[in-house]
Amino acid sequence: MNLRSMASAVALAGLWAASAHAQTGAQTVTPPTFAERLAQAGSPLTVGPQGFSGPGAVILSEAVDASRYVMIGESHFSREIPAFTANVCRLMAPGGLTAMVVETGPEAAAVVNAGLRAPDREQRMSNFMRAHPDAMAFLSGRDENQTAADCAAAAGPDFALWGLDQEFFGVSGYLFEQMLAASPGPIARARIEALAEQERTATQAALTSGSPMDMFLFKATDAALDEAGAAIARDGGDRAKALFAALRETRAIYQSSMARTGDSNGRRARLMKRTLAAHFAEAPQARVLMKFGAYHLYKGYNPLGQRDVGNFVAEHADGAGVASLNMIVAGARGALGGYNGVGRQVAVHAFDSTTGEDADWVKDVVLARPSDTPPGDWIVVDLRRLRGADLEALTPEWRGLIRGYDLAVVAPELSASSVLGARDAP
């Protein structure tokens, strides 16, 4: 090729490049904003007494059906999220549902399991809680307890609750009763009976004051517990030893949390992982539904800087070659129940996640909600669709949420639940 031909070829190539650039420029589309992408990832969901419907139900059902482990990270003490959870149980049941894993202690879960299918289940729970104030977290709630029963009815006779957490701070008296029922030897029995008497005195003081700090778990001295531990080690038997170890672990976690020393959140997370690992070892094919406070069920590091049980399960699923689903469920506004003192009914706290200090990621979901969405519908956001190269441009809250959860579900309004067996009930 001579120089003139080469020049012509270069010129022609330049014209083609310029033409292509012009066409590309004409076709350039401004990428959607995050708000637009959020709206596209959201679908309305109708939540009924016996199930889900609407476009969001398809997304939810497909994700649940594909998963061995389904996790619901929640805001505690509403009426609506337990009802939502019962519907998830109904989705899982046809494909098998072994257990519901809950944010309460193993001994508390055993109490609920014992009466889960009884016709007088609610009265039994009320009686237990009146006899053992604050012995149980969350499952003493009327709606939580009902959901456990609904899940058992849907899943069949082999379904059970698995409690992973430390026990609640009013559990001491019940644990002493169980230790004595395990027929310890005379040395251990004498020490356990002495502690049980101290516990009864402390509980009466706590009921009068309403302060959990008056309860035995916080009033007992290390010296008294050390002496009892030595006696139980001598002739208490395996069951009493295990129960006493649970009491001391519970006390250590609460003491660390109150003193803001050590790593109470990490210690608690490690306890839950060990307990769940033991369940998985006994039932390696188990299909489970988990329901915990939202921070516990993030994949990766949660907002507290912990790799909690949600990450543990997601990694376990990856290692087993099965699917897991992490979903967070919250409300746009309404009211939630809160702790109100020993043996007392919940305090009701109003909130609005779309305004003021309460505003968070839920506000963005509400703003992205299509205007023609029926007011009673929930919104399911498929967070998996929001994972992309531009994730670093988002707020830290949204980055953490998208990485930590697969689905986000927002109820238009929540209402406060109540607890069973409250001493101040009418």
Per-residue pLDDT tens for 32-75? 899 999 999 999 999 999 899 999 999 999 999 999 999 999 99
Give me the percent of the chain exceeding a pLDDT of 70.
93
User: In which band, very low, low, confident or very high, does the pLDDT at 12 lie, cut at 50, 70 and 90?
Assistant: very low
Summarize pLDDT for 375-408 with one digit per residue, the tens.
Answer: 999 999 999 999 987 888 899 999 999 999 999 9
393 within domain boundaries: no
Average pLDDT of the chain? 93
pLDDT at 2: 44
Please give the average per-residue pLDDT across 334-350, as a whole number.
Answer: 97
216 within domain boundaries: yes
Please give the average per-residue pLDDT across 155-178, as a whole number.
Answer: 97
366 with 332: CB under 8 angstroms?
yes
Q: What is the pTM of this model?
A: 0.91
381 within domain boundaries: no
Report the DSSP pairing between strands 407-411 and 378-382: antiparallel
Summarize pLDDT for 264-307 with one digit per residue, the tens.
Answer: 999 999 999 999 999 999 999 999 999 999 999 999 999 999 99
Tell me: pLDDT of 21 over 90. Answer: no
202 within domain boundaries: yes
Question: What's the domain count of the chain?
Answer: 1
Summarize pLDDT for 117-144 with one digit per residue, the tens.
Answer: 999 999 999 999 999 999 999 999 999 9
User: In which band, very low, low, confident or very high, does the pLDDT at 28 lie, cut at 50, 70 and 90?
Assistant: confident
Domain of residue 187 covers: 172-259
239 within domain boundaries: yes
Tell me: pLDDT of 92 over 80. Answer: yes
56 with 118: CB under 8 angstroms?
no
Identity of the highest mean pLDDT range in 185-199, 357-371, 411-425: 185-199
Please give the average per-residue pLDDT across 351-369, as a whole number.
Answer: 92
pLDDT at 177: 98
pLDDT at 30: 86
- Torsion-angle region of 321 (φ positive above 0: left; ψ -120 to 50: alpha; else: beta): left
214 within domain boundaries: yes
Tell me: pLDDT of 19 over 70. Answer: no
* End-to-end Cα spacing for the chain: 102
147 within domain boundaries: no
pLDDT at 20: 45
pLDDT at 27: 67
168 with 135: CB under 8 angstroms?
yes
pLDDT at 16: 42
User: In which band, very low, low, confident or very high, does the pLDDT at 425 lie, cut at 50, 70 and 90?
Assistant: low
User: In which band, very low, low, confident or very high, does the pLDDT at 321 lie, cut at 50, 70 and 90?
Assistant: very high
177 within domain boundaries: yes
